[in-house]
Amino acid sequence: MAEIHKKADGKETANGDIPVVAPINIGKGIKWNESTRQYDVSIAENQPIHVNDNGDLEVRVSNLEDNLLRVIDGKLYYGTKPRAELANLYVDAENGVDQDPLKVKGAGTRANPLRTFKYAATLAEKGTSRNIWLKENQDHDVFQSQYFAIKTGSLGILPYGETTDRLNEKEHGNFFLMAAALIKSGEEPRLVFKGANKLPYSDSVQEFDRLNVASIYTEHNLVLTFQGVRLVNDLGFNFNVSVRKQNNVAGGIRDVNTDPWRINMGQNSRLNFINARCTTIGKPNITGDVAETNDLMRQGNLREKDARGLYLMSFFYGYGLDISIRNLALDAAECYLYGTSGWANVYGSDTTVNNQGTPNITDVTKRIYNTRFDKLAEGVEQIVVPTTTIPTSYWKF
């Protein structure tokens, strides 16, 4: 049996201390370092455990985009539950203050709300399920100049306030009926997308400004739900196109519009509208020396509307989406709810829309561009194509 005061090198300790090392590990993973007068821990290369700058052992977590493993309170966790401070964030655009709930106790609560939707939306951890509560009867502006990302997981955007409380009590806690009543009252919170900027374009023969209105992009596999909330696409921007070089381009310059959507959804994402409303306000004023040669180009530049009477702009864009709509109101809508890349052709067949009993089915289909539209309850699946009207014979229900 090894003597209790022996070190790994077989020598007696100077002061009679008992070395903290098991005899079976001597010479294997824990070795005595004569120069530092301490035991070294031997760690294989390329392992998650390493020694940090302070000499402490710690576990490294990969920073790859799809990694959902997190360290919470010093422990590894894999799951969708967020930290309690980030699970429900309240936003008051008039009286709130943007503070980090993980650093300022009570920040983001109803008693001490945040100020901007952007700040609240960027606080989440990957893969978690969380809610953002917007103060009723307020404009919650989202500016194109503050383009930002929403992490993957599940995000619900919901209303709160005195009217919401009163209606919720009236409906005995039925949030679905409360949201419907709030939308009908016109006091729902308004998430307003605003602004546009110039994105310089250049190739071997052309240099000119292109329009960019995208405000948000999301990571893949996000579930995004709007309930009791109004989305507003503000087209009231002025945009002057400057052409700096055009070397006898056949057919004139290309269309200016490059990103005609407000939210770019990641692949395999899900978009839910439950008792919500979408509205377009304002009209774009596009000027400049653009040689437009056809109707599609004028529509792409937002100078004219298409055959449906809509501008080629949309709230959402993405491939591989699953869109569920239940009682979505579309009023004064002069742009698309959902658009795809390649407006003139049938794209986006990997995107499915389930109306779930929406009564204004024809109105909705006019504003969802080139996508597969399902009425699952009755086994119907059709491709919506860009037509001015949807004849009744088109639908099989």
- State the Cα–Cα distance between residues 71 and 77, nearest whole angstrom: 6
Burial of 110 (0-12, 13-18, 19+ CB in 10 A): middle
Same domain, 276 and 181: yes
What local confidence, expressed as pLDDT, does residue 250 receive? 65
Same domain, 179 and 265: yes
Burial 273-285 (b: 16+ CB within 10 A, else e): bbbbbbbbeeebe
Does a structural domain hold residue 342?
yes
Task: For residue range 113-156, list pLDDT tens digits in order.
Answer: 999 999 999 998 888 999 999 999 999 999 999 999 999 999 99
Does a structural domain hold residue 128?
no
Same domain, 199 and 344: yes
What local confidence, expressed as pLDDT, does residue 246 receive? 72
Same domain, 183 and 48: no
Task: For residue range 157-169, list pLDDT tens digits in order.
Answer: 999 999 999 999 9
The parent domain of residue 35 ranges over 30-76
What local confidence, expressed as pLDDT, does residue 240 receive? 87
Which phi and psi (to 5°) does residue 306 adopt?
A: -85, -170
What local confidence, expressed as pLDDT, does residue 357 receive? 63
Does a structural domain hold residue 96?
no
As for how many domains the chain has, the answer is 2
- State the Cα–Cα distance between residues 312 and 211, nearest whole angstrom: 12
Paired tokens of 348: 């986006």
Does a structural domain hold residue 315?
yes
Same domain, 184 and 38: no
What local confidence, expressed as pLDDT, does residue 132 receive? 98
Does a structural domain hold residue 106?
no
| Positions in the chain whose pLDDT score sits under 70 | 1-31, 41, 44, 55, 64-68, 70, 72-75, 77-80, 248-254, 340-350, 356-362, 370-397
Neighbour count for residue 38 (Cβ, 10 Å): 10
pTM for the complete prediction?
Answer: 0.77
Same domain, 199 and 311: yes
Does a structural domain hold residue 110?
no
Same domain, 230 and 308: yes
Same domain, 263 and 336: yes
Report which secondary-structure segment, H or E, holds 17. none
What local confidence, expressed as pLDDT, does residue 394 receive? 39
Burial of 204 (0-12, 13-18, 19+ CB in 10 A): exposed
Same domain, 140 and 63: no
What local confidence, expressed as pLDDT, does residue 333 receive? 79
What local confidence, expressed as pLDDT, does residue 388 receive? 36
The residue among 59, 76, 93 that closes a domain is 76
Q: Between the CA of residue 267 and those of 118, 249, 341, 345, what are the distances in Å?
A: 21, 35, 14, 20
Same domain, 190 and 326: yes
3-state secondary structure of 153: strand
Does a structural domain hold residue 83?
no
Same domain, 179 and 41: no
Same domain, 143 and 248: yes
Task: For residue range 211-235, list pLDDT tens digits in order.
Answer: 889 999 999 889 999 999 999 999 9
Does a structural domain hold residue 368?
no
